[in-house]
Amino acid sequence: MDAYEKAGVNIAAGETVVTNLQQQLQKLNGTNVLGGLGAFAGLYQLPEQQQPVLVAGTDGVGTKLLLAIESGRRTTVGQDLVAMCVNDVVAQGAQPLFFLDYLALAQTEPQQVAELMQGIIAGCQQSGMALLGGETAEMPDMYANGHYDLAGFSVGVAEKSALLTPDNVQAGDILIGLPSSGLHSNGFSLVRQLLFKDRDYHFTDTPTELGGANLLDTLLTPTQIYVQALQPLLQQKLLVGAAHITGGGLLDNVPRMLPAGLQAQLDLASWPQPPIFKWLCQLGELSTAAAYTTFNMGIGMVLAIHPENLAQVQAQLAQQHQVNYQIGTVQSGMPAVKLVAAAL
C-alpha cells in the first residue's frame, strides 16, 4: 500500500471505473466525439451552423441526493443530474451536444460509481447527447463515509436566429404545459423536513395519500427529460418560448420567458396534479403562493406558441407520445403570473 492509499485514496479503484466507462461510452458517443477517455479534455466537433451559438447549463441534484445516500438507491439520481442541465439548454432552443459530470465522494467504490453512472448514461441517451467526460474526485476528509455529491453541465448549439428569447412572445400566445414525473429535483429540503424531521415516515411506507404507492419510489422518481418532445417543435419553428420549471416553481420560472409588461394567466384546474403535491401542501399548510414557488405542482415545462400553431403543436406532441395540457394564455398586464382557480 502506497502513501496516497494510506491517506484514503484508492487510485486502482478509480482506474477500474474509467475502464468500465470506456466500454459503455463507445456505444453512447457518436462520430462528433474525437478521441476518448484519458485525454486532459474532451473534444467535440461542432455540427455546421450559419451563426452558431453555444448554449450551456450547469446544475446539481440538491438534497434529493441525501435520500439516495440514506436509502442506498443510486441508479436514478444521475438522470436527475442530466435532466436539470439539459432541460435548461433545450428551453433556450438549443440542440444538446454533450455532457460532463463531476462526482465527488469519500471513497471510490466501483459498484457505487457504476450505479450513479447508470443514471447519467440513461439521461444522455434520452437527450441524444454524448457523455464527453467528467471527473471523479475521491476526498475522504471532505465527505463522510458513503456520502457523495454530483454536479454537471451540458452544452448545446442553436442558430442565433432560432434562439428562444422573451422578445418572441406576445400577447395572445397560448401556453402548453408538459407534465412533470413528480417532484423532479426541487423542494427536497422542505420534503425532508415535512416527512422525516417533523414526522416519522419511512422509505418503505405506502401512504394512503399516495394511493398506496411506495414512498421512496415516489420521492426518487427521476426528473423528466423533455428533449425528444421539444426538438421536433424547435426544428419546425413552432415554439416562441419555453420555461423549465425548476427551483422557484411556476411563479418564478414562467416569467423568465416573458418580455416586460406581459402576464401568463394560468388555469390551475387545467392539469391533474400528482398526489404527492397535494399531500405535501397539506402537511406543510402551504399557501398557494408558497406551493407554486417551491414545487413544480405537476408541470415540468411550459411552452409558448402562437395560436395558429396550436393544432400542429398538439399533433406533433401526440406523435411523440407526449402528454400535454393547454394551461393558459399570455396577456398584457402585471404581475408576470396570474393564477386562476387556485385551490390546494
pLDDT at residue 39, as a whole number: 72
pLDDT at residue 210, as a whole number: 97
Nearest-angstrom CA–CA distance, 155 and 71 = 32
Nearest-angstrom CA–CA distance, 130 and 78 = 15
pLDDT at residue 11, as a whole number: 46
Kindly indicate the confidence band of residue 296, based on its pLDDT and cuts at 50, 70 and 90. very high
CB neighbours of 82 closer than 8 A, spacing ≥ 6? 99, 119, 120, 123, 124, 126, 127, 129, 152, 154, 225
The residue among 9 and 252 whose pLDDT is bigger is 252
> CA distances (Å), 71 to each of 66, 116, 146, in order?
8, 14, 11
Over residues 328-340, the mean pLDDT reads 95
CA 287-290-295 angle, to 5 degrees, is: 120
Percent of the chain predicted with pLDDT > 70 = 90
pLDDT at residue 48, as a whole number: 84
Nearest-angstrom CA–CA distance, 265 and 4 = 59
pLDDT at residue 49, as a whole number: 84
pLDDT at residue 40, as a whole number: 80
Secondary structure class of 34 (helix, strand, coil): strand
pLDDT at residue 47, as a whole number: 86
* pTM for the predicted model, two decimal places: 0.90
Q: Residues 18-76: pLDDT tens digits?
A: 566 666 665 667 677 877 666 788 888 888 888 999 999 999 999 999 999 999 999 99
pLDDT at residue 42, as a whole number: 83
> CA distances (Å), 136 to each of 59, 140, 148, in order?
16, 13, 10
pLDDT at residue 36, as a whole number: 67
- Torsion from C-alpha of 192, 197, 200, 203, nearest 10 degrees: 30
3-state secondary structure 135-204: EEEECCCCCCCCCEEEEEEEEEEEEHHHCCCHHHCCCCCEEEEEECCCCCCCCHHHHHHHHHHCCCCCCC
pLDDT at residue 41, as a whole number: 84
pLDDT at residue 21, as a whole number: 61
Question: Which stretch of 107-121, 225-239, 275-289, 293-307 has the lowest confidence by average pLDDT?
Answer: 107-121
13, β-bridge pairs: none
Whether the per-residue pLDDT at 241 is higher than 70: the answer is yes
- Short-list 178, 168, 179, CA closest to 238: 168
Nearest-angstrom CA–CA distance, 31 and 33 = 5
Cis previous bond, 335, omega within 30: yes
Nearest-angstrom CA–CA distance, 226 and 164 = 15
Kindly indicate the confidence band of residue 252, based on its pLDDT and cuts at 50, 70 and 90. very high
Per DSSP, helices labelled H in the chain are: 3-6, 11-28, 64-71, 77-91, 110-127, 188-192, 215-219, 227-235, 249-253, 275-284, 288-294, 310-319
Nearest-angstrom CA–CA distance, 255 and 249 = 11
pLDDT at residue 344, as a whole number: 43
pLDDT at residue 343, as a whole number: 46
Nearest-angstrom CA–CA distance, 283 and 187 = 14
pLDDT at residue 260, as a whole number: 95
Whether the per-residue pLDDT at 310 is higher than 80: the answer is yes
The residue among 23 and 210 whose pLDDT is bigger is 210
pLDDT at residue 38, as a whole number: 66
Whether the per-residue pLDDT at 222 is higher than 60: the answer is yes
Q: Residues 88-110: pLDDT tens digits?
A: 999 999 999 999 999 999 998 99
**Cell numbers at 165, concatenated:** 428569447
Percent of the chain predicted with pLDDT > 90 = 83
Query: Domains in the chain and their CATH numbers?
Result: 3-162 (3.30.1330.10), 166-340 (3.90.650.10)
Nearest-angstrom CA–CA distance, 117 and 111 = 10
- DSSP-derived pairing of the beta strands 337-340 and 262-267: parallel
Q: Residues 171-205: pLDDT tens digits?
A: 999 999 999 999 999 999 999 999 999 999 999 99
pLDDT at residue 182, as a whole number: 97
> CA distances (Å), 262 to each of 109, 165, 171, 276, 331, in order?
52, 14, 7, 31, 6
